[in-house]
Amino acid sequence: MVLGFVVLAGFALTMSPWLARNYSLTESVFGTAGMRVHQLTVRFPGDTVERLMNPEDAGSPRDIRQVGLGEYWAKLDEHLPAALQKDLPSFGGNWVVAFFLVGLLVPFRNLSLARLRWWVAGSLFLLLVAQTLGRSHWGTLVPEVNTDNLLVVLAPLVFMMGAGLFAVIVNQSEMSPLFTQRILGPGFVLVMSLPLVVKLTNGEANRFAYPPYYPPIIQERGSWMAADELTLSDVPWAMAWYGDRQCAWMPASFGPGFLDLHRRKPVSAAYLTSLTLDRKLVTGQLRGSDPAVGRFAAEAVVNEEIPPGFPLKHAFAEGFPFQLFLSDRPRWKTRSQTNSVSAVNVEKTSKK
């Protein structure tokens, strides 16, 4: 009991400065991470929550405070079966999870081991519910490795308890010690290591996840922008990291959201990738969660026209249809070379 309070006190001392900082900046102890529970609800499909200019607008139906308990239950009911069928059996990374799950049912005479088993089972249940309620659109785009996966926190205990159950089974078996020590034990280690062995012997993996983005291209686009200029993108984290430039996410309700953002700070360029361009025309763009973005992409890409009044009237179409760069002026003309073998520069003006 005393050790439990010591761990709790240490955790509180470690996390309190971060929670206080979040609250001073956002008036929320968890910052934007606390908004994940609203994602993928009926009111906020996809990545709508993350792209809201004002998530607590009392006069708008897109006020996160209007999400009710029934919507949370609906999200839990929709995604919990998939978590039980896919995430839970594979969260350890290999077959040792089977030994771990069976090991939760094995009684222990040692009181400490019994308490550890119940603690792991309770933590597993809590993390499974938290992972389901905190599921975001990234869990759909990248189903295997993503920030939604909380169960991976228990991976060390999974291996420890799984290997422990295997040792118990071997010790209680009537097989010869020579067989268990020379064949069964090494064979178990080899089978559990097969994912790593296959990964190491399968050759070099792809260095870049293209599409949706290719770091050298983003670095090139970023070099066209000044350090104090604002860029808009559907992958703002990539432009901020690889391009080393200020970048905002494409706002939800694209028309009013863009105008609101442009009034706060002028948007000098927009970088679009396949996350926006490579969608189904009708269900993904024209009738998606934000049809204004679909109409804008259709006019800019298909009709080769920029909507009237839109300040970014020039387009650089290298890498199209997976990449599109819109700017307030043809910035690429000042560069003698690009990172690609060939570049196609297309300027499109608004329809008069």
Q: In this model, does residue 236 exceed pLDDT 60?
A: yes
This prediction's pTM: 0.73
Q: pLDDT (tens digit, 9 = 90+) per residue, 311-337? A: 888 888 777 778 888 888 888 887 644
**Quick one: average pLDDT of 175-197?**
83
DSSP letters along 7-47, please? HHHHHHHHHHHHHHHHHHHHSSTTGGGGGGGGTTSSSS-TT
Distances (CA, A) of 325 to 3, 31, 148, 329, 349: 56, 31, 30, 11, 14
Question: For residue range 286-297, what is the model confidence (pLDDT) as tens digits?
Answer: 565 666 666 666
The first and second tokens of residue 76, run together, are 């839990």
pLDDT of 267 reads 92
Q: Using the predicted structure, report yes or no on whether residue 341 has a pLDDT greater than 60.
A: no
The DSSP secondary structure of 207-265, one letter per residue, reads SS-TTT--HHHHHHHHHTS-TT-EEEESSHHHHHHTS-SEEEEPPSSHHHHHHHHHHHS
Q: What is the pLDDT of residue 340?
A: 41
> How far apart (Å, rounded) are the C-alpha atoms in residues 103 and 164?
8
